[in-house]
């Protein structure tokens, strides 16, 4: 099935025709090439179609399960220097040619060990194991720089430790997880950035450092019901460009059972899915009067920044209880992690219960009655976390105090006037004998 790729050229936000647009890369090597093998699919300098003002497109036949680089060579006006724009399309599913947009998964340093993670669930959020799973990392030039088999931690949760070479070229990298479920091949696409090693780096304390990322993932297990919410047959909103369709909730999980319907018919190609934004982009314009787009998707209620805030709040509470400390999520000892996780889970459930008082969240949980039942269940879970959190904080005061200053004082009592006599003796003005 032919796949249409296109680019929109704009001047001050408005579509406009450029002086020249063709497919071509800065090194004059390709127009379209495969990410896995580097093979050139479309040659440099290939002409494209100017289908409408500011819109340039080209069609080719992609292979199932392959990611491609598409490079556009643009001359804005006569005599201007070339401008290059590179797009990543694919991977295309075994049953369709729907492409996905990668999720950002962090910034990492040269020479550092980083842990790449993937969680696999069915549409209802239940963890599942694939029949096979592999991982590949590609640099910005489409060269494979790492490949291997991920390690299973628990059911549905896989990690891969990548020791980034000290001389690894900085820039965007793509992480492709390939796995098989019920005999069908699927892929999950993630984006990371490799940065230059510095002596004053703060990457280890960044929101995507290994330890913080693992702590956040642990919190997601505590509130997994909120991070794997299925939505069925939701009608999307067609945007002004007549191509983009947005849905109520962003942060979709890259679930292999995500389905897009156009006028109640399953869409098997000609669209891109941006899982992070909860947005579907059609190659061909939609008609607002008679086109209806629906979706079955599974999404995460909380974004990473919200989870980090819950963790930070809980950490400050733990630090405030004796023995008082100044721990961070990077330096905190393992014995205090349950306290931080329980405290963060309390904040998350409190916010979720609040959100269930409003219309759209209620609909996700089955309307007024369903949302009421869900809020009651969440409140019970929150109370259990609160009891555990309080018990752990109470136990914290018993130490250990190693490395800290601790003082025990014993009260002393004297008869009336005793303090003044002792004071006079110490000052040399009174003889106790």
Q: From residue 306, how far is each of 31, 101, 222, 311, 367 by CA, in Å?
A: 41, 22, 15, 9, 25
The pTM is what?
0.58
- For residues 94 and 184, the answer to whether their CB atoms sit within 8 Å is yes
Reported as a pLDDT band with limits 50, 70 and 90, residue 349 is very high
Q: So what's the pLDDT on residue 202?
A: 41
Of 230, 207, 417, the C-alpha closest to 310 is: 207
- Whether 164 contacts 76, CB under 8 Å: no
Q: What is the mean pLDDT of the chain?
A: 81
Q: What CATH topology corresponds to 97-196?
A: Immunoglobulin-like (2.60.40)
CA angle 235, 239, 242 (to 5 degrees): 105
Contacts of 353 (CB under 8 A, 6+ apart): 375, 378, 379, 382
Decide if 245 contacts 239 (C-beta within 8 A): yes
Work out the pLDDT band at 104, boundaries 50, 70, 90.
low
Split at pLDDT 50, 70, 90, the class of 2 is: low
What integer pLDDT is reported at residue 91 of this predicted model? 63
Segment 137-192, tens digit of pLDDT = 988 777 889 999 998 877 888 888 888 998 998 888 888 888 888 887 777 778 78
Q: 352-404, pLDDT tens digit by residue?
A: 999 888 877 888 787 888 888 888 888 998 999 999 999 999 888 886 665 55
Model confidence at 289: pLDDT above 90:
no
pLDDT at 404: 53
pLDDT in tens, 214-239: 788 888 888 888 888 888 889 999 98
Give the DSSP per-residue string, 129-145.
Answer: --SEEEEEEE-TTS-EE
Residue 227, phi then psi, degrees to nearest 5 = -105, 5
pLDDT number for residue 203: 39
Q: How far is CA 361 from the centre of its chain?
A: 21
Sorted by where each begins, the domain ranges of the chain are 3-89, 97-196, 228-299, 304-396
Q: Give residue for tokens 């494979």.
A: 144
Lowest mean pLDDT among 99-103, 159-163, 311-315, 371-375: 99-103
In the predicted model, is pLDDT for residue 64 greater than 80?
no
End-to-end CA distance of the chain: 111
Query: Residue 344 above 90 pLDDT?
Result: yes
């Amino acid at each position: 099935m032919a796949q249409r790729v296109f680019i929109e050229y704009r001047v001050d936000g408005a579509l406009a025709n450029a002086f020249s647009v063709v497919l071509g890369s800065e090194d004059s090597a390709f127009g379209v090439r495969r990410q896995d093998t580097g093979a050139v699919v479309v040659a440099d300098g290939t002409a494209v179609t100017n289908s409408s003002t500011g819109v340039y497109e080209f069609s080719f036949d992609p292979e199932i399960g392959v990611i491609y680089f598409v490079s556009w060579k643009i001359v804005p006006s006569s005599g201007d220097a070339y401008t290059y724009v590179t797009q990543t399309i694919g991977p295309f599913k075994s049953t369709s040619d729907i492409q996905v947009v990668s999720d950002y998964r962090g910034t990492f340093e040269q020479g550092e060990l980083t842990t790449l993670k993937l969680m696999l669930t069915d549409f209802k959020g239940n963890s599942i194991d694939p029949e096979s799973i592999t991982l590949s990392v590609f640099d910005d030039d489409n060269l494979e720089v790492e490949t291997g088999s991920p390690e299973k931690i628990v059911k549905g949760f896989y990690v891969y430790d990548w020791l980034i070479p000290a001389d690894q070229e900085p820039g965007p990298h793509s992480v492709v997880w390939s796995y098989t479920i019920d005999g069908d091949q699927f892929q999950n696409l993630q984006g990371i950035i490799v940065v230059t090693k510095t002596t004053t780096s703060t990457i280890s304390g960044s929101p995507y450092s290994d330890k913080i990322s693992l702590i956040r993932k642990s919190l997601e297990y505590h509130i997994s019901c909120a991070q794997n919410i299925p939505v069925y047959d939701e009608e999307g909103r067609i945007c002004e460009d007549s191509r983009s369709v947005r849905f109520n909730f962003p942060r979709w999980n890259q679930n292999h059972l995500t389905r897009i319907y156009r006028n109640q018919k399953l869409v098997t190609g000609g669209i891109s899915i941006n899982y992070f934004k909860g947005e579907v982009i059609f190659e061909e314009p939609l008609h607002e009067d008679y086109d209806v787009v629906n979706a079955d998707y599974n999404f995460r209620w909380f974004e990473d920044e919200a989870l980090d805030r819950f963790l930070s709040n809980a950490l400050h509470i733990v630090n405030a209880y004796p023995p008082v400390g100044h721990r961070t999520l990077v330096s905190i000892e393992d014995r205090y992690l349950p306290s931080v996780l329980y405290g963060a889970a309390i904040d998350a459930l409190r916010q979720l219960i609040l959100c269930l008082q409003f219309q759209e969240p209620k609909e996700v949980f089955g309307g007024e009655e369903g949302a009421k039942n869900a809020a009651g269940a969440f409140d019970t879970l929150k109370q259990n976390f609160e009891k555990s959190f309080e018990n752990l904080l109470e136990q914290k005061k018993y130490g250990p105090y190693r490395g800290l200053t601790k003082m025990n004082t014993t009260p002393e009592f004297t008869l009336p006037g005793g303090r003044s006599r002792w004071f006079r003796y110490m000052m040399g003005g009174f003889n106790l004998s």
